[in-house]
Chain A
Amino acid sequence: MKIISSETHFDFMGKIKMAMTISGLMILIGLGSIALSGGLKYGIDFSGGTLIQLQFKTAPDIELIRDGLKTIGLGESTIQEFGTKRDILIRVQRSEEKLEAVGSQVRNSLGEKFNKADITIERVEMVGPQVGRDLREKALLSILYAIIGIVIYISWRFELQYAIAAIIALIHDVLVTMGAFSILDKEFTLVIVAAFLTIIGYSLNDTIVVFDRIRENLRRKGKNTLAQIINTSINQTLSRTLLTSGTTLLVVVALFVFGGEIIHDFSFALLVGILVGTYSSIFIASVFLVYWDSRRRV
């Protein structure tokens, strides 16, 4: 069976302008959304705070929970359903360094409005502001280190301009995914950073397969221009690119649908990242190779 014929001759290079416009728009909208919402929305991992996941026997009235919480003065809090109506996620800005557990404090405060026995504390996560700062720094550094490591590897295996084109493509992917997160008002947590690093790795995977073919075709170049060679290479690898992205998407969709609330955002990030990564390895990375080449010749 074949979905894509191995003899395709799509003119990808001819669609560069359109691709640049689409990418530019996606990134601009994403960055705009981030700017409008005053920066990225950090989860408690990075901002510090406390998160409590409760399960009620029957679906509770969120307003009653809000009233109950007022009595203990936890500061600003958000209350939302988490997956089902019975599962409630409470987020408070305050992180409790003292030994009184916030979880039980919350449960006690709800004791007036609900039957305490009907409430189970499923999960408590508390991150102090200091740890939040540490983690934020670590997360940024880790992305930086990953990029540096990859640049070194690709420049060694290929040439520097390939490495730079690959990095531009992966920064593109990360920016678009970040924008999607901001637009959908999703939070940045440690797990999301893990997803981003995976996207970085994945996006490169695709890009490198194309680069590899470009390099191979360059050896028997003939009279073709670089742009033509790149176009041929993309066409030759197209079915593989789409197949692999397809199978990976299948499993990520399975994770997104069946994996549960806790890794929902993680699988969402992967989903977006893989789609964008596939697109960028076809349209973005190669464009910069051609651009580089044309400048060198001038």
Chain B
Amino acid sequence: MYRALKWKIPLILAVVLGAVWLAYPLKEKIALGLDLQGGMHLVLEVKVEKAVEASLERLADEIKRGITEEDLEVDRVKAIFPDRQVSVRMVDKLDLPPVKKVMEGYPFFSLFSEDSDGLGLIYQMSADQITQIEQNAVSQGLETIRNRVDQFGVSEPTIQAQGQRRILLQLPGVKDPERAINLIGKTARLEFKLLDEENSLQQALQGNVPEESEILYQRIENKETGAVTKDPFLLKKRTVLTGETLTGAEIRFDSDFNEPYVSLNFNSVGAMIFQQVTRENIKKRLAIVLDDNVYSAPVIQDEIAGGRAQITGQFTSAQAKDLAIVLRAGALPAPVVILENRTVGPSLGQDSINKGITSIIYGGLLVLAFIIIYYKLSGVIAVVALFLNIVLLAGALAYFGAALTLPGIAGIILTVGMAIDANVLIFERIREEIGIGKTVRAAIDAGFSKAFHTIVDANITTFIAAVVLFQFGTGPIKGFAITLCIGIAASMFTAVFVSRAIFDGTMSRIKLDKLSI
């Protein structure tokens, strides 16, 4: 009569043991969301148009060199934004055909228009090329940021592209969020530029900046008051050396004052350029510029061979260490901005865990007490099912690798409330059937089978809502949606399957005339 029990009981045992095995020990198996363990959730946008700009500038330089190498006299070659064009102006009309010839070497440029005076050409960069540059900027940016985070030392970071130009970062357990942001978001474009000492800084500050020069500032922070002053420098625009030729960057301490600085090593190309520049500019000042901020501008005392340089400044050792990290990991191909930042400190996370657990315990106890008082022994069966429900939920969370979040805890609590529902539906049905005079056994059969469809229909609608929520939600909300989904599935299993098996198992041993319900 109860033959089904022969496979039901082992199946239930297997599922429950499986769940326990998956979820035990809880601390290791169930990942906590950022809102519970503390950490940062960042969404960055890569300013890809800056990468396109930089690429266009570089190409304009290259084209100019190419034309000059053909012994033609160039007036100027200029990149045009935001049209993404390059304009080439020549001195002699007869030079245009050979320029066109040179431009054939750049298949992604097409002739856009010719200047009416016959001296200039405008080329348009192709959309494909632009997309290519943009994609590279994002993927290289992602790689660079991953390098930096790895060196910064965050355990189990998530770093991934999101959509076309966004990068999503999740950094659990970050203790100093501000430092992390500085480290991740710094473009880290290192440039060496000579000071323009022929022209007056004063005049430049009044608006008379020579065409080949620019004004950049050095930030000086007073360590006691925290006040920041800005010191202007007049620099030549031309970059003599960039960070691309770096092979290493490390933090060192100066032997006299124990001040931290960053020591740089260049590869052979960089070393050669550095040697040449220092030889030709002795007694002049060379500025070290990072992301358009002047760090220092020492006077070149002598020719420097060997490809070594150093960045000094008023660093704390943490700052110097981070600077070394970003220089080693390389510059971002384009700057990034923060679109979204959610940071939770570790103490708040712990507080949330404690409160979540407290609510689960109180909520759970209330429900248990109520259900046992209301349904007596049958209530105890429901309680057993409820416990198994939570075990299954934990097992499934561990299996899917889903992180438990604060809303996720709310999802568990809600599951506790709703899991009872399936049992209530069944028990009420059984009571009704007993009420119309059926025997205990027939009432249980009818109760389960009649309630079954209702339970499925009623749960599937909640399930639909939870799945939609999972699709649209981020982080904590996804955690809520997933606990809700799992909770619904688990509660259907425990109510329909486990409660039934307990009823049947009891009935197969004892013949009941009256049901404690």
Contact = CB atoms under 8 A, between A and B. Distances in A.
Question: A and B: partners?
Answer: yes
Interface of A: 1, 3, 6-7, 53, 55, 96-99, 101, 103-104, 108, 111, 120-128, 130-131, 138-139, 141-142, 145-146, 149-150, 153-154, 157, 190-191, 193-194, 197-198, 200-202, 204-206, 208-209, 212-213, 216, 236-237, 239-240, 243-244, 246-255, 257-260, 262-263, 266-267, 270
B472 A138 contact: yes
A201 B374 contact: no
A145 B178 CA distance: 38
A258 B359 contact: yes
26 contacts: A98-B337, A101-B181, A122-B345, A123-B344, A145-B468, A146-B468, A146-B469, A197-B466, A198-B469, A201-B461, A201-B462, A201-B464, A201-B484, A202-B418, A247-B420, A248-B420, A249-B417, A251-B359, A251-B364, A251-B366, A252-B363, A252-B414, A255-B363, A262-B406, A263-B410, A266-B410
Interface in B222-236: 226
A139 B472 contact: yes
A184 B414 CA distance: 24
A124 B424 contact: no
A154 B456 CA distance: 12
B370 interface: yes
- Secondary structure of the B side of the interface? helix
B343 interface: yes
Contact of B465 (A141, A198, A240, A244): A198
Given A138-B472, A204-B458, A248 B418 contact: yes
Nearest to B186: A99
A96 B459 contact: no
Interface residues on B, range: 35 or more
A247 B367 CA distance: 6
Interface string B447-481: 00010011001111111111111011110110011
Contacts of B43: 131
Interface in B22-57: 35, 43
B210 interface: no
Contact of A124 (B342, B413, B464): B342
A6 B429 CA distance: 10
Contacts of A239: 428
A174 to B, nearest CB: 12
A259 B344 contact: no
Contacts of B343: 103, 121, 123-125
A90 B429 CA distance: 52
Given A194-B480, A209-B454, A247-B370, 17 more contacts: A6-B431, A121-B177, A121-B345, A124-B341, A126-B338, A139-B472, A145-B471, A146-B469, A150-B461, A208-B454, A213-B454, A236-B432, A243-B374, A248-B414, A257-B359, A258-B355, A266-B410
Contacts of A240: 424-425, 428
Contact of A197 (B186, B410, B450, B468): B468
A233 to B, nearest CB: 12
A149 B185 contact: no
A132 B420 CA distance: 38
B340 A131 contact: yes
Interface stretch (B109-117, B259-267, B346-354): B346-354
Interface string B410-439: 100110111011001100100110010000
B414 A198 contact: yes
Nearest to B373: A1
Contacts of A213: 454
Nearest to B335: A99
- Most A CB within 10 A of own CB, among B186, B338, B375, B463: B338
Interface in B364-399: 364, 366-367, 370-371, 373-376
Nearest to A142: B472
A153 B460 contact: yes
B477 A190 contact: yes
Interface string B173-203: 0000110011001100000000000000000
B270 interface: no
B366 A204 contact: no
B462 A205 contact: yes
A253 B347 CA distance: 25
Contacts of A146: 464-465, 468-469
Nearest to B462: A201
B414 to A, nearest CB: 7
B333 interface: no
A126 B340 contact: yes
B356 interface: yes
Given A138-B472, A248-B414, A254-B359, A96 B338 contact: yes
B133 to A, nearest CB: 22
A254 B369 CA distance: 14
A216 B452 CA distance: 13
Contact of A252 (B182, B344, B413, B476): B413
B407 interface: yes
B382 to A, nearest CB: 10
A43 to B, nearest CB: 13
A104 B337 CA distance: 18
A255 B410 contact: yes
A213 B450 CA distance: 10
A125 B367 contact: no
B480 A254 contact: no
B421 to A, nearest CB: 4
B464 A150 contact: yes
A99 B291 CA distance: 13
Contacts of B375: 1
A117 B362 CA distance: 36
